[in-house]
Amino acid sequence: MRISSPIFWGVLGLMACSALELSGQDPRAIQETYFPVPDTTYTTPAFDTKRGFTTHETMEHFLLELVQNSSNLSMDSLGMSAKGKVIWGVRSSAGADKLRVLFLGGLHGNEPAGTEALLAFMQQLSEEGHLNSYLDAVELLVIPMANPDGYDKQNRYAANGLDLNRDQTKLVNQEVVFLKKAYAAFDADVVVDFHEYKPYRSDFVSMGTFGVTSAFDAMFLYTGNLNVAEPIREATETLLVDPARKTLAAHGRRFHNYIRPVVIRGNMRFDVGATSAHSSSTSFALANSLSVLMEIRGVGLQRKGFERRVETGYLLASSFLKSAHHSKVAIQMAREQGRNARQDVVIESSKKVTQSQLDFIDLSDGSLRTFDIEKHDGLALSPQLIRSRPMAYIILPEAAHVIEKLRILDVEVEPLPMGQYEVERYVITENRLKADFFEGFQERIVSATTESEDMDLPADGWWVPADQERFNLAIECLEPEAHCGLIRYRVLEIENTIPILRVIKPTLK
């Protein structure tokens, strides 16, 4: 159906702004014009029913049958949700030199297209066909429902009301602990975390005549964080995201880098890319994996356009698998270079601000309109405050309890060596609690300078060497100002001193 009558669109627009939330967003005309239903027929559990989605139980049956009939897939329990539901991982066969690719879905329980796309993807993999042939050089671990408690309620959060994608270092949710352990044991070269985003946001009401909605089937969220090694950032874009863009374009999908409105004192700007280690894409990249978070257009749409959303996720999963196969050696090399990169530690950075343009669907007439926007680009950061890269951090005995968190994150921690070293102590210049709450607690905001001294290392304490795969993640945990730092998150409570030292070099006696 083609709809061109301006009266129709006008009436639709009036209805749309009040009824969008109730109707599950997206008037039918917008769906038919911009997001038509694909020809593909899916037979995963959600498509057995007209209402609702796959449940943890129906997924379990589906996966059990799948692996029973498959010669190349197996499944195992990676752990339990708070309510005792198994977090399942499906694996393809291992091989010594295979590239290891981890796909995650359903970390936010109300973003079902990711989970369903991964089920459809595994269904294809279990059958002989073109996808299957990539498994000769790729080992897959697929975790289709990372947050079963949230998923069964189609609720974003875990059973305790916390956001599992904001718990990268504090590790208060058992689901996240199991996921981090599974990631570390698998030692993923590539991680793709499948999510959905909300196309119609309250901030968009003021745009256009009756408001606008997002025009993109998918958005790519990958990191610009300067503490991620540059070879990792570059390879993520060129080896994974670029080919996925081509795949989406070839299938008539609109897409964009992840872009999010931020309203400050009535002025709207748009943030691009991932910078904070809050979110999985930056966190896994700091751990030296190539990492992308996919945002499929879907939150709030309920079943609307579900076939298309699932197909978008399926196309992306297939593209990432194919790219991993195609670029196996280059990805392994990027990780090797990432491991050996020795860039300065960036404490503060600023985003490049430009005037730019962005397309939206105008709800008053259904047209695709281009708006002028102010863009704050997280993929083009410049450092504002840096510290030298230490050869190690020392954790003093009073902070011993943070070692457990670091080990869950696969950060290597050793007993202190003997000897004299030049070390830097932090001198606190600011120390306060943030007024508003984040994930149920108030973050500690600390600023510090450093003072160096030569010291004979004490007998007790811990040594976090720079010469390790996950050191950039250790930096994020241990620098006092870091966004997801153990001090900011108050895993390590401090008053006047910080029981962490930076080791600069050995000193000759």
Tell me which residues touch Zn ion (CB under 5 A): 108, 111, 195
Of 501, 404, 408, give the one whose Cα is nearest residue 461.
Answer: 501
Please say which residue, 123 or 281, places its beta carbon nearer to Zn ion. 281
Collapsing DSSP to helix, strand or coil, 317 comes out as: helix
As measured in angstroms, the least distance from the Cβ of 281 to Zn ion is: 11
Of 285, 320, 323, give the one whose Cα is nearest residue 469.
Answer: 285
What HEC string does 211-258 produce? CEEECCCEEEECECCCCCCHHHHHHHHHHHHHHHHHHHHHCCCCEEEC
Please say which residue, 75 or 285, places its beta carbon nearer to Zn ion. 285
Please say which residue, 108 or 278, places its beta carbon nearer to Zn ion. 108
Are 273 and 202 a contacting pair, CB within 8 Å? no
As measured in angstroms, the least distance from the Cβ of 279 to Zn ion is: 9
Please say which residue, 109 or 338, places its beta carbon nearer to Zn ion. 109
As measured in angstroms, the least distance from the Cβ of 187 to Zn ion is: 25
Report d(CA 152, CA 501) in Å as an integer. 45
Residue whose beta carbon is closest to Zn ion: 195
As measured in angstroms, the least distance from the Cβ of 321 to Zn ion is: 21
Q: Is 178 exposed, middle or buried (0-12, 13-18, 19+ CB in 10 A)?
A: buried
As measured in angstroms, the least distance from the Cβ of 108 to Zn ion is: 4
As measured in angstroms, the least distance from the Cβ of 350 to Zn ion is: 26
Q: Which single residue is written with the structure tokens 């795969």?
A: 469
Element (H, E) at 33: helix 28-34
Of 324, 303, 306, give the one whose Cα is nearest residue 314.
Answer: 306
Please say which residue, 115 or 247, places its beta carbon nearer to Zn ion. 115
Tokens of 100: 């290891």
Report d(CA 283, CA 477) in Å as an integer. 11
As measured in angstroms, the least distance from the Cβ of 111 to Zn ion is: 5
Please say which residue, 280 or 289, places its beta carbon nearer to Zn ion. 280
Please say which residue, 296 or 346, places its beta carbon nearer to Zn ion. 296
As measured in angstroms, the least distance from the Cβ of 104 to Zn ion is: 10
Please say which residue, 134 or 194, places its beta carbon nearer to Zn ion. 194
Please say which residue, 12 or 218, places its beta carbon nearer to Zn ion. 218
Are 68 and 155 a contacting pair, CB within 8 Å? no
Pairing outcome for strands 444-456 and 368-387: unpaired
Please say which residue, 187 or 203, places its beta carbon nearer to Zn ion. 203
CB atoms within 10 A of CB 499: 18
What backbone torsions phi and psi does residue 368 show, to the nearest 5 degrees?
A: -90, 115
Element (H, E) at 150: helix 148-152
Tokens of 163: 């956001």
As measured in angstroms, the least distance from the Cβ of 393 to Zn ion is: 32
Sign of CA dihedral 170, 176, 182, 187: negative
As measured in angstroms, the least distance from the Cβ of 196 to Zn ion is: 6
Collapsing DSSP to helix, strand or coil, 292 comes out as: strand
